[in-house]
Amino acid sequence: MLVIDAGGDVTNAVIGGILSFYAATIGTVGVVLDGAIRDVAEIRERDFPVYARGVNHRGPYKDGPGEINVPVSVGGMVVNPGDIVVGDQDGLMAFARDEAELLIEKARAHLATEARTIQAMKEGRWDRSFLDALEARCAN
């Protein structure tokens, strides 16, 4: 995974179709970029995940600045070299490898809780008293 801290700057793209293609061909599993990309249509045609803060048609910088294998910040989330980064359409998270087993366990427990909530809704057993209290406080 290539994680790039461009400080949230979207005035120029950091990578585009060519560099993302190259990253994929050398075994990179995806790109996370706190900055802009270009060539979105080209990138979307590939089975290679690219997450970016924005899009800009202005071409990538060719000569830095930058550092490699240092902690970076992506939208305020610190990502350290070697961290695991996972994401979907809703967002991203990063964590140290030694936390993976515990986080996976917690995620599975959370999914099970959500599944029970959905089942309770389907069966008409869902406790919505917190919504009733909220509605009562907000009533004009």
Percent of the residues in the chain that have a pLDDT greater than 70, as a whole number: 99
Considering the chain, what is the average pLDDT of its residues? Answer: 93
Under the banding of pLDDT at 50, 70 and 90, the label for residue 128 is confident
pLDDT at 97 over 70: yes
Give every CB contact of residue 51 below 8 A, 6+ residues apart in sequence: 30, 31, 32, 33, 87, 92
3-state SS, one letter per residue, for 3-56? EEECCCCCCCEEECHHHHHHHHHCCCCCEEEEEEECCHHHHHCCCCCEEEEEEC
pLDDT at 90 over 70: yes
